Structure 1
């Protein structure tokens, strides 16, 4: 180590005091003017390692060293570097305190005042008898930021990128415009200056913090602004995105019935769904405020923590990088409600379900294009029969408005479109909250989970058409001429045949028709054709489509249509013709699993495309 000025006071800063600018600030205030400042090599190595990992604090510390070097050239201080440079193993163990220990040892050998902004470092140094000063970074009165000039009252977000003119999203949630806000493109040095200022503010302002810090990316929260800073190699160039809420909305500003508000208060499992930018988080913050005002204990789970909620509501981030750890703490805190912002990954849904089943009222924010899509995101992540216990209400937000509310109910019934009572199974009914009308059914069919839309009578006709085809196929065995079948309800059919075929279909004392009705599970009203013209018209109709039961064995894909046994048929997926075949006498169509035909059938099943069969 070089010798400084005789009798000059000497200070040895640690990494934290360099990053926080404590030394240069002291020199500017003349507290450290004409001092010998000895920078441990351990500090330089730690800053270099952080900068190499793309962490902004590393660059900030190196810039501070450059600033101190400039002050030394001006004669304000004398700057030296001292101590041993840490080896590779010590750098790798930096989190365990190896470099901090090396810096303390350098401070002891240099025989000066050890300056640190790290409380733990100061406590250990004092315990080891080192002359140490614990100096907190100054909280200066904060003026406007450079990025503030890009914002207007209706600006939702600002997007800055090197060599690209600044852009912004403006307007309201109902009408957003993406516009250019300056002709000159951003420069590298301008973005670095903005980045440095934002980092300093996040580090020194009590209302700001670092949310995430990765190689090439940092996320900050400064007041109400959420800032994402991206650098190469993570991004192709330097980019800064600043997002802020344009409004804090209470539930009174939404068109909501008292019945829905009462449902929200009832400690339920609720999903707030909608596309990106629709106003989901704003609505969630409104619900949090509403519940807090009603006397409930409300907490949030967020990453990043950017919901605009009252100070009474504590906002939690990932504990030690895991929301699972956060959930464990929250269960000890015992909130009435937890707002889980951004439920995306499988683990998020599992944590949401665990907390809900533990009795906590849960409100999750989910990206979805329809309310039912939010429910479908639970399938495969949460056991099907448990879904209504985890989520019983979905509120769909579109352009800042409550567009749709759906409720979930668990029951056992015959799914819509199926006729036989022995096909009854557990079904999740999804209904419109306001009208009570059933809109979807979710149930298992073989190994598949089916999400079946239920429309009006017009939408139900395809299911009835399947029943008409089945009735027609059965009665055709008793009639020599054409058979016309019309389903007038899901349990009653009107059948017309030639007059000479009626006795054979009805049977002695109605015995035959009784057997047919029991077999089909519907009431059949048999009548004759009124005229030859009607008979010809009805007889010319194609046979109705049939929905086969599809099974898969080790060698075959099997389509079971017993009502079409021994007949030549055509098989379709939606509107696409797949193949022709002859149905076996047991009602089976078998195709080898290694054939293209079998592949087409299974692909249609997996994508939800309807597979159907008609007589050729």
Structure 2
């Protein structure tokens, strides 16, 4: 009598090789559970059900008995299997070590299938340069080859992959989980499964979630140390001594996780206690660094574990939703050094992700260093500092307010300011480029009605010069546009009248 683990392991292979022989019994409770899982979109249930069908076909081929036995009584399925075998004297076939131990305690005969490690078919798709393999039903198999930021998409074979071939691969992957060290099912949902199989991260999707079976397999091609990034000594000094609210940002596939991995090992070598929160766990780190899975714990549970264990640094990989950012913020304000990894097309976009989630005054306490990764290298580093000042573009001293300055860390020049204008917190660019952009926007607002008007930045304000001959066209509509722009940009706009010679009046 095979259990689910034996079906997933491929008990039919043992029968074909005559390593196992006898009549096959399938318990009705197991059959009902596999049917329920298949209807819910659990891939392991569907694969096990396929194996039951394969056993039935083999019974007709090799002339042994195949029976559906027992009654489903609502108990645990494994318990019902053991109870039936104990009463009828049949053997439980399993690939589950715990099931094997329990059967031995109860004196039930057991056939154990686990232990051997088979060569994986997916390994033939990989060479030293392969980053990921993409297999989709009714398409040619393809792969990304190269390194983050410098790769090409290549076709691996001229043969189109079909659903049955992809199913066999999934079957093999699920079988290998128990025998390959560091392997587990990270997430299993209706239509999707994410597996960590040794160094391979495997994403499996199928109908109804996707329009066909699809397998995406990624493997790290580079494992860098922080020293390999050729960082500026000033940045290295900050990472070593001051940085405790670190944000690593970049577009997908640019090398953010690889850098976070290198930074984790760097802090470990400095004698720091480092832990990670991942979903899924795909960072390859030394045993000294504990890796937590967000999928196997509630956010509150992770919060309690990390507060009580008091790591020096926690790496939060792939921050996406409000819960992720809230946990990052809570742990950072509790004094734990945090390293967050977020998707962003520009470094300022990463800071935007925090703007609506915290008060302006706490941002520098939560984030002090933003590192932007592009094509596998550090291309921008920002530091954040709080001050009370008149924001750039404003003139009167009574407009002074708390301002968070976002500085280029290496040049110490302010590139953005965060402050509250009206009731809205906004990030405003500072410097020549932003002034030119503002001048252009103001000019567009007035040109339609006042084609002769010009805009120029002078002494902290934008001056709109209107020819005397066109002053009659300066109406309420134009004035309203300028007022809105003034509020939106947090800047002052002044109107100046000029005569035909360009002299101010």
TM-score for both structures, normalised by structure 2? 0.84
Q: How does 1:257-406 map to 2 (within 5 A)?
A: 257-266=232-241, 268-318=244-294, 320-406=296-382
* Structure 1 unmatched runs, 5+: 1-11, 91-96, 466-484, 492-537, 545-566, 572-578, 582-588, 590-596
State the Cα distance separating 1:463 from its structure 2 match. 8.4
Alignment partner of 1:64 is 2:64: no
Q: How does 1:19-34 map to 2 (within 5 A)?
A: 19-21=8-10, 24=12, 27=15, 32-33=20-21
Of 404, 414, 427, the match for 1:438 = 414
Distance 1:219 1:539, change over 3 A: closer
CA distance in 1, matches of 2:412, 2:184: 46
2:180 maps to what in 1?
205
Distance 1:363 1:542, change over 3 A: farther
Q: How does 1:149-548 map to 2 (within 5 A)?
A: 149-266=124-241, 268-318=244-294, 320-456=296-432, 459-460=434-435, 489-490=459-460, 540=467
CA distance in 2, matches of 1:71, 1:78: 10
Q: Number of aligned pairs? A: 482
State the Cα distance separating 1:411 from its structure 2 match. 1.4
State the Cα distance separating 1:311 from its structure 2 match. 2.5
2:448 maps to what in 1?
none
Q: Secondary structure at the match of 1:304?
A: coil
The answer to whether the 8 Å contact 2:381/2:409 transfers is: yes
Q: Secondary structure at the match of 1:378?
A: helix
Alignment partner of 1:49 is 2:36: yes
CA distance in 2, matches of 1:68, 1:276: 44
State the Cα distance separating 1:158 from its structure 2 match. 1.2
CA distance in 1, matches of 2:206, 2:372: 36
Distance 1:43 1:433, change over 3 A: same
Q: Secondary structure at the match of 1:165?
A: coil
State the Cα distance separating 1:408 from its structure 2 match. 0.3
* Structure 2 unmatched runs, 5+: 441-454, 498-505
State the Cα distance separating 1:615 from its structure 2 match. 7.4
Deviations 1:60-81, CA, capped at 9 Å, x for gaps? 3223323433443354753322
State the Cα distance separating 1:403 from its structure 2 match. 0.2
Structure of higher CA gyration radius: 1
TM-score for both structures, normalised by structure 1? 0.70
State the Cα distance separating 1:113 from its structure 2 match. 4.0
1:513 maps to what in 2?
none
The answer to whether the 8 Å contact 2:166/2:213 transfers is: yes
CA distance in 2, matches of 1:193, 1:303: 26
CA distance in 2, matches of 1:350, 1:379: 12
State the Cα distance separating 1:100 from its structure 2 match. 4.1
Q: Aligned Cα RMSD in Å?
A: 3.6
State the Cα distance separating 1:606 from its structure 2 match. 10
The answer to whether the 8 Å contact 1:47/1:62 transfers is: yes
The answer to whether the 8 Å contact 2:403/2:418 transfers is: yes
CA distance in 2, matches of 1:392, 1:125: 57
The answer to whether the 8 Å contact 1:13/1:115 transfers is: yes
CA distance in 2, matches of 1:178, 1:327: 41
